[in-house]
């Protein structure tokens, strides 16, 4: 376990040294703001809240994915794959300790148990044929892959909860279903892909423009039917529906640019996504809603950070070719 932690620490330090000092300061400020927000959260400790914390933690851990090559390599050494998973999952437990130490201990137990499960579930994968979906942009293969199993289940679940909310005249349940659908899109964005996917693009501007168009078009097609249904069932809450839809689009753009800003580390990108949500939310609340005007500045900064990383990846590929 100690060797795994030391190796991950060295990788973290190496990645940190590659980040410009201005970006490092910004990330530290985001971490401080996130810690402040989490410390201010007051949550009662009950068996339900402990189970909820463990469930949220497992959901976050499920987004941590290793490539098949990495899993096969770590599997060669006794318990190495288990220790690697547990180390990553324990890192995701830190925010829960800030909320309440009991939540943190519950997530530590969940990290160990889920790490054992993930390390034992190494099976030879069968080749699955990805049938293109007629709903999404043709070139967005990550979205087409999710139409095999995840998206149909999410669509059915969202429809059921919206209908239940309408029957019981509970619009909050219907809006929560729309929000969950937006979160389900994150599982599409945070998928492992090799650098070849980036290197096929002409330049960083071509990559940024194409991926942004695909994400906005696909997420809109994914959520638009349910947003229209909500407008029809709850017309008096049209503004909330519009806000949820806009927030979902901004969330997906945020996730997309964070993923490629810290590529190839999905774990760091996901942690930064969580931090950014707490940071922006806490900033907006602290400034009594006026913090919203700082969101465009944040996205402009993130866009530049992401573009620079993509340019570096493309330049490295050109050096290798030469």
Query: Is residue 272 a contact partner of residue 262, using CB atoms and an 8 Å limit?
Result: yes
Q: pLDDT tens per residue, the chain (322 residues)? A: 667 777 777 777 777 776 667 667 777 777 787 787 778 777 788 888 888 888 888 878 887 777 777 777 777 776 778 888 888 888 888 888 988 899 989 999 998 998 888 887 544 444 444 455 556 676 666 665 665 556 777 778 888 888 888 888 888 888 888 877 877 777 778 777 777 778 788 888 888 988 898 888 888 888 888 889 888 888 888 888 888 888 888 888 998 999 888 887 777 787 788 778 777 777 666 666 666 777 888 899 899 989 998 888 888 765 555 4
Specify whether 96 is located in the same domain as 215: no
Query: Is residue 61 a contact partner of residue 89, using CB atoms and an 8 Å limit?
Result: yes
- CA separation, residue 183 to residues 27, 106, 168, 220 (Å): 23, 23, 24, 13
Alpha carbons 141 and 39: distance in angstroms, whole number = 40
Specify whether 35 is located in the same domain as 159: no
Last residue of a domain, one of 77, 103, 124: 124
Specify whether 89 is located in the same domain as 176: no
Give residue 288's pLDDT: 62
Specify whether 113 is located in the same domain as 163: no
Alpha carbons 197 and 316: distance in angstroms, whole number = 14
Specify whether 236 is located in the same domain as 321: yes
Last residue of a domain, one of 63, 89, 124: 124
Alpha carbons 49 and 41: distance in angstroms, whole number = 13
Give residue 250's pLDDT: 87
Give residue 124's pLDDT: 47
Specify whether 151 is located in the same domain as 276: yes
Question: Could you give the number of structural domains in the chain?
Answer: 2
Give residue 141's pLDDT: 65
Specify whether 179 is located in the same domain as 145: yes
Specify whether 179 is located in the same domain as 306: yes
Specify whether 181 is located in the same domain as 318: yes
Specify whether 91 is located in the same domain as 175: no
The range of the structural domain enclosing residue 35 comes to 1-124
- CA separation, residue 225 to residues 161, 228, 229, 251, 316 (Å): 14, 5, 6, 19, 42
Last residue of a domain, one of 104, 124, 144: 124
Alpha carbons 24 and 6: distance in angstroms, whole number = 21
Assign 92 to helix, strand or coil: coil
Specify whether 194 is located in the same domain as 253: yes
Specify whether 165 is located in the same domain as 105: no
């Amino acid at each position: 376990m100690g060797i795994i932690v030391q190796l991950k620490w060295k990788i973290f330090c190496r990645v940190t040294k590659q980040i410009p000092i201005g970006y490092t300061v910004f990330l530290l400020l985001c971490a401080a703001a996130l810690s402040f927000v989490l410390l201010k959260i007051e949550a009662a400790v009950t068996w339900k809240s402990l189970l909820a914390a463990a469930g949220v933690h497992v959901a976050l851990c499920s987004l941590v994915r290793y490539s098949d090559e990495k899993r096969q390599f770590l599997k060669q050494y006794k318990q190495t794959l288990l220790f690697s998973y547990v180390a990553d999952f324990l890192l995701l437990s830190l925010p829960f300790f800030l909320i309440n130490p009991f939540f943190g201990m519950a997530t530590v137990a969940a990290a160990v148990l889920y790490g054992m499960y993930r390390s034992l579930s190494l099976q030879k994968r069968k080749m699955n044929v990805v049938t293109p979906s007629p709903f999404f942009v043709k070139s967005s293969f990550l979205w087409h892959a999710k139409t095999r199993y995840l998206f149909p289940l999410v669509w059915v679940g969202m429809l059921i909860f919206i209908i239940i909310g309408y029957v019981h005249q509970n619009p909050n349940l219907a809006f929560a279903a729309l929000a969950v659908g937006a979160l389900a899109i994150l599982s599409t964005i945070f998928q492992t892909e090799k650098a070849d996917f980036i290197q096929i693009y002409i330049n960083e501007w071509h990559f940024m423009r194409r991926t942004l168009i695909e994400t906005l078009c696909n997420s809109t097609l994914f959520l638009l039917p349910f947003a229209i249904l909500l407008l029809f069932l709850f017309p008096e809450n049209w503004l909330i529906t519009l806000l949820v839809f806009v927030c979902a689009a901004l969330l997906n753009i945020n996730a997309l640019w964070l993923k490629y800003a810290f590529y190839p580390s999905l774990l760091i990108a996901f942690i930064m996504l969580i931090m950014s949500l707490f940071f922006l939310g806490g900033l907006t609340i602290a400034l009594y809603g006026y913090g919203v005007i700082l969101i465009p500045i944040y996205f402009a900064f993130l866009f530049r950070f992401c573009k620079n990383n993509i340019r570096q990846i493309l330049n490295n590929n050109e050096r290798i070719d030469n």
